[in-house]
Amino acid sequence: MPRAPKATVKSAPVSAHAPVHYRVTPADVHAHHWHVVLKLTRPAATQRLQLPVWIPGSYMVREFSKHLQGLECRQAGRLCGLIQVDKATWDVQADPDQVLEISYTVYALDNSVRSAWLDSARGFFNATSLCLMAQGFEDGPQLLEVLPAPAHPSWQLATGLPAQRVDRRGFGVYRAADYDELADCPVEMGNFWSAEFSACGVVHRFVVAGALPSFDGERLLRDTQKICEAAIRFWHGAAARAADVPSASYTFLLNAVDDNYGGLEHRNSTALIAARRDLPRLGEAKTSEGYTTLLGLISHEYFHTWNVKRLRPAAFTRYDYTRENYSDLLWFFEGFTSYYDDLLLRRAALIDDAAYVRLLNKTINQVLQAPGRKVQSVAQASFDAWVKYYRQDENTPNATISYYQKGALVAMCIDLTLRREGSATLDDVMRALWKRCQGGPMQEADVLAVLQSLSGRSWAKEIKAWVHGTGELPLRPLLESQDILVYEDPAQPAQRLGLRVTETAGVLRIKTVLHGSAAQRAGLCAGDEWLGVELPSGGWRIHKLDELGAILGPARRCVALISRDKQLLRLPLALPARVTTWRLAAGSRAPTAWPA
């Protein structure tokens, strides 16, 4: 249920005019058009304007300028000379003594957390999609004035930007210290649900757009508070106070939709998207798998407040918004954040040991079922994120490894090795890194130095093998050291054959053929439609891969009947004798300190 916001008027002293002032209007919700007027009081004689090609946190060139149109620049009402330099760069000929007014429209219909959206139900934007950078002014204050949509008088606005002069609904003028801050504070507007809670004395606001009437906001608030307190105490100790926390307030912006999932971390907020069905429901006390996943997402993005927004790759000390920004440390910043997101759910008692082990089991199987782990190290996968992880295709599992998943397992291997040796835990490593790097830029050498100082020995061998190598991680002995037992169960048909498939409307289509698999040896190909199988005793039509088990029984040879570009192919297929997947289970020894 939507709930009225607190009727407070945020205000700060109105200071002198900033040299950069954006006025953003939801101009035409049905055309999905934002209108932007950028005013520069003291432009350069040749004033360069640029729109970012990517948004920090999402490592892919997204070409936001493709949605920018109708760019015009005026001084005293007269059009200025304008030259487009490249896909996202313009030069304006201006009189430095007169105000330069730049106006344009941005089309916004990307229902993700990475760019912008506008329709009759809500508006959302990142400045990287809407706000042209004025070269020479990036390091100075940027005023963002957001106007309401006249046809939607009940809409409210939420953002992590500091308010300068806003009305009780949140519309008005916000002030960013520089373009980086502007770009790091997404804006949400609409008839959203909103409420606040305090974690270790810090005010947190949770905004949910698009929830069903049965949405249990109180529960979401309660559970999120536990996550935030666990994270704050993780970084700053059990007695953490508000002054220890790097941001003075925090805002969660969650967009609930029919089917989507994702999040993007920011310095004092996060934009999340999730399926409505995964929100907690009034009158339901149990924690569904979908809600656990949502809590994991909240935990993940919140942990990034420290790990990547402050402690960050030295390569991200200053973002270049016009091109790829390469780092080979995403295994640390995404992988270690992924390790701690679920671990903090366990520590906040939102899930039990069994649920935690199931989540870990899933991550392990995802890594063990990706042949790409033998092709790329997690350091290489980090560097290649721009063209591999973020541009996935049918060959992705064969060509790269997720620095989220394997990075999380590297974190676990370090943690469990430290615990086995009795010297420290990974928690100590994270906190020591925070101190050593003063919550700022970090390099791999810092990780090695902290590990050495806490454990009294070099970790060069482990980092070389686990982070820069493509061999298997020592998962089994380390799990067994925590009394987690590993069983190898017979694999499901997809894994046994080495396939990933889609099964929609009775069509069994091959999405990926894993390298080195039985399916690859038989000549199956991504895009093929698998129609049926032939045995000496007769042929069978199949619609789902799991039907194979019943048809084949113990038989290990058959002929796959395939349709490829309308041609029928008969491919002899030999199934391997034994393919297994891991199943983890807690042993019978007394509980260890980990993972609780």
Region of 243 (left: φ > 0; alpha: ψ -120 to 50; beta: rest) is: alpha
Alpha-helical regions (H) of 109-268: 127-130, 179-183, 217-236
Residue 205 vs 300, nearer CB to Zn ion: 300
193 versus 332: smaller Cβ distance to Zn ion = 332
Exposed, middle or buried by CB within 10 Å (0-12, 13-18, 19+), for 314? middle
Q: Helix, strand or coil for residue 383?
A: helix
Please count the residues of this chain forming the interface with Zn ion, following the rule CB under 5 A: 1
Q: Which of residues 282-341 bind Zn ion (CB under 5 A)?
A: 334
Distance CA 259, CA 264 (A): 17
Cβ closest to Zn ion, residue 145 vs residue 342: 342
> Each residue of 333-343: b (16+ CB within 10 Å) or e?
bbbbbbbbbbb
Instruction: Report the SS3 class of residue 28.
Output: strand
Mode of pairing for the β-strands spanning 68-75 and 100-107: antiparallel
Please, what is the minimum distance in Å from the beta carbon of residue 43 to Zn ion? 38
Question: Which residue, 270, 97, 272, 306, is CA-closest to 184?
Answer: 270
Q: Give whichever of 43 and 335 is closer to Zn ion, judged by the CB atom.
A: 335
Nearest to 492 by CA among 365, 583, 581, 397: 581
The rounded distance, in Å, linking the Cα atoms of 528 and 401 is: 24
Which CB sits closer to Zn ion, 137 or 234?
A: 234
Least gap, CB of 554 to Zn ion (angstroms):
45
Q: How far is the CB of 540 from Zn ion (least distance, A)?
A: 44
Give, as ranges, the residues between 411 and 430 that touch Zn ion (CB under 5 A).
none
CA–CA distance from 546 to each of 232, 414, 514, 523 (Å)? 45, 37, 18, 20
Give the integer Cα–Cα distance in Å for 271 and 64: 18
Please return the burial class of 569, using the count of CB atoms within 10 Å of its CB with bins 0-12, 13-18 and 19+: middle
The nearest distance, CB 402 to Zn ion, in angstroms, is: 12
CB of residue 336 to Zn ion, shortest distance in Å: 10
Nearest distance from C-beta of residue 376 to Zn ion, angstroms: 19
CB atoms within 10 A of CB 152: 17
The number of residues making up the chain comes to: 596
CB nearer Zn ion, residue 175 or residue 300: 300
**Is the CB of 334 or the CB of 462 nearer to Zn ion?**
334
Q: Are 129 and 106 in contact (CB under 8 A)?
A: yes
Q: Which is nearer to Zn ion, 223 or 334 (CB)?
A: 334
Least distance (Å) between residue 301 CB and Zn ion: 7
Shortest distance, CB of residue 340 to Zn ion, whole angstroms? 11
Q: Quick one: 180 or 334, whose CB is closer to Zn ion?
A: 334
Residue 286: partners with Cβ closer than 8 Å, 6 or more residues away: none
Q: Which sign does the torsion angle of CA 335, 196, 26, 109 carry?
A: positive
Pick out residues in 358-387 that bind Zn ion (CB under 5 A). none
In whole angstroms, the minimum distance from the beta carbon of 330 to Zn ion comes to 9
Residue 304 Cβ vs Zn ion, minimum distance, rounded to whole Å: 6
Asked if 272 contacts 208 with a C-beta cutoff of 8 angstroms, the reply is: no
Nearest residue to Zn ion by CB is 334
By beta-carbon proximity to Zn ion, the closer residue of 334 and 415 is 334
User: Which residues sit at the interface with Zn ion, rule CB under 5 A?
Assistant: 334
